[in-house]
Structure 1
Amino acid sequence: MSALLPRLGFIGIGLMGDPLSRRLAKAGHPLVLYNRTRAKADAVAAETGAWVADSVAQLAAQVDVVITCVANTEVLRELMLGAEGVIANARPGGAIIDLTSADPAATRELAQLAAESGLSWVDAPVSGGVAGAEAGSLAIMCGGDRAHVDAARTILQPLASRITHMGPVGAGQVTKLCNQLLVACNTAAIAEMVALAESSGVDAGLLPEALAGGFADSTPFRMLVPRMAERDFKAPSWHLRTLLKDVDMATAQGYRQASATPMAALAAQLMRSRLARGEGESDPATLIRLYRDDAQRS
């Protein structure tokens, strides 16, 4: 990379990709965008001066660094592989920074294929949600060679309050799965707690104030309890299906490593029961319905 800011390609203008790409443009990076639904990329381009590519191949051929922030491992594979994919079309010596929450084993496989084509790879999944993306206060956990992570750090700085090198390629993804395992189990326990409070005649909406600063306090607690108490599951800043996807990957990683994940497996089954009721796009706070709304209707 030159002393000038590298030209970035950003693939995936979704809930997270929209504010992240805007922050990178605001930081002064020349930016090329691609999204399967072009209108989302066009909206960012209209406000930032970024250019919108017609294809993944076109984007990859024009930038120094490709940043991906897509829905899941399967979409990531599709973007990277094949004659029209990133790996086949990126400039030799270029870099890939993947912000997707993806499977660690697949990440290592794709990174090896990228290396064979002269491309570096840093897996850099994020935590902090849409609010963190908008504020530039995400926690980013990175896997890759130290030199590659250091180079990625200079690019990712406008997005994060904390960037941690966790180890070789795949280590960032494992760390994110650990994060999501804890979030999912916490969400399930919070739903039980709110249900217990309500069934005992306690106003659950007062719980965040009552428990603030104690051992039970946490960011998920402060976010989820009001939504559960109000049964407010619309316009979520994160989706049940996304959390379930990550917890399923965490349990799969546990299976590979012979590391037991019984709490994560239970949380996944509880979330899957809501998914079966068509609530995949709802806030994970919908788990309260397992204990209160559904029980009251039965």
Structure 2
Amino acid sequence: TSGDPTVTREISGLIFENKIELIDAPVSGGPRGAREGTIAIMVGGSHAQFERVKNVLSYISHNIIHAGPLGSGHSIKLGNNLLNLICRMGTLEVISMLVREGVAPDMAVDIIQKSSGRNYATEITLPDNILSGKMNQGFSTAMMEKDSSLALKIGAKHELNMALGKVAQTILERTIAKYGLDADMSAVASLFESETGAQIRP
């Protein structure tokens, strides 16, 4: 559901000539959020447009947010996914270090989740998909690479360094080189295992 906000605005300008209006409404929350009807829907468009589509979108989820003008939904979705990638890489780096230090991975995740370092990776990704051995998050490396690249493109447009994002992207590229574009994002854990010698999965 993610897209380039610049392209979204360009398309809107083209179709507006034919009296067709466009909003962007990407979602986030993963398969669990979709199943439970709690997935976040980030709507980009005017307030009037948001009010017109809100009831329709409520059939998908009641967690509907007016993100701002057209393109804002896509911008926030891309920023969110880049932040998710940064947190995931940082978490796996620390878990790998702790495993090498002799701490059990499930114990490390459990304690971090109850501490100031908690994030989506410690709450959902690691317990549900990696420590469980399922390795099936339902989100491919290709999809993440598309989103993180677009987010970094936005940063470049504003002449921002985006240092953390670039480091996370480099690790993602190593994952893709080793496991392919069709690999589940859980494969990042396999990359850390192969590069650090830490056994994270059961």
Query: What is the TM-score with the length of structure 1 in the denominator?
Result: 0.61
SS of residue matched to 1:149:
helix
Contact 1:137 1:160 in 2 (8 A): yes
* Equivalent AA in structure 2 for residue 221 of structure 1: T
Contact 1:239 1:284 in 2 (8 A): yes
Count of residue pairs brought into register by the alignment: 196
> Which residue number corresponds to residue 80 of structure 2?
179
Contact 2:22 2:45 in 1 (8 A): yes
* Equivalent AA in structure 2 for residue 249 of structure 1: L
Distance (whole Å) between structure 2 residues aligned to residue 274 and residue 232 of structure 1:
18
Distance (whole Å) between structure 2 residues aligned to residue 231 and residue 248 of structure 1:
28
**CA offsets per residue over residues 50-79 of structure 1, 9 Å max, x none?**
xxxxxxxxxxxxxxxxxxxxxxxxxxxxxx
Q: 1 or 2 for the larger relative contact order (CA 8 Å, sep ≥6)?
A: 2
My pick for the range that moved more, 173-182 or 154-163, is: 154-163
> Which residue number corresponds to residue 152 of structure 2?
251
Residue 67 (structure 2) aligned to one of 148, 151, 166: 166
Question: Would you tell me which structure has more strand in proportion to its own residues?
Answer: 1
> What runs of 5+ residues in structure 1 fail to find an aligned partner?
1-99
Distance (whole Å) between structure 1 residues aligned to residue 164 and residue 134 of structure 2:
26
* Equivalent AA in structure 2 for residue 262 of structure 1: A
Contact 2:95 2:109 in 1 (8 A): no
Question: Would you tell me which structure has more helix in proportion to its own residues?
Answer: 2
Structural mapping, 1:198-209, within 5 Å? 198-209=99-110
Distance (whole Å) between structure 1 residues aligned to residue 78 and residue 47 of structure 2:
21
Contact 1:143 1:165 in 2 (8 A): yes
Mapped pair 1:151 → 2:52: yes
**CA offsets per residue over residues 213-239 of structure 1, 9 Å max, x none?**
322222332222234445542x33222
* Equivalent AA in structure 1 for residue 15 of structure 2: A
> Which residue number corresponds to residue 181 of structure 2?
280
SS of residue matched to 1:158:
coil
* Equivalent AA in structure 2 for residue 197 of structure 1: L
Query: What is the TM-score with the length of structure 2 in the denominator?
Result: 0.88
> Which residue number corresponds to residue 293 of structure 1?
194
Contact 1:187 1:285 in 2 (8 A): no
Mapped pair 1:141 → 2:42: yes
Distance (whole Å) between structure 2 residues aligned to residue 212 and residue 289 of structure 1:
21
> Which residue number corresponds to residue 6 of structure 2?
105
For the aligned residues, what is the CA RMSD? 1.8
Cα distance, 1:144 vs structure 2: 0.8
Q: Cα–Cα, structure 1 residues 293 and 230, in superposed 2: closer, same or farther, change >3 Å?
A: farther
Contact 2:141 2:181 in 1 (8 A): yes
Structural mapping, 1:1-298, within 5 Å? 100-226=1-127, 227-229=129-131, 232-233=134-135, 235-296=136-197
Contact 2:87 2:119 in 1 (8 A): no
* Equivalent AA in structure 2 for residue 274 of structure 1: T
Cα distance, 1:188 vs structure 2: 0.5
Cα distance, 1:151 vs structure 2: 1.2
Distance (whole Å) between structure 2 residues aligned to residue 194 and residue 295 of structure 1:
10
Contact 1:195 1:288 in 2 (8 A): no
> What runs of 5+ residues in structure 2 fail to find an aligned partner?
198-202
Contact 2:24 2:71 in 1 (8 A): yes
Decide which structure has the larger Cα Rg and report it: 1
Identity of aligned pairs, percent?
Answer: 25
Contact 1:207 1:225 in 2 (8 A): no
> Which residue number corresponds to residue 80 of structure 1?
none
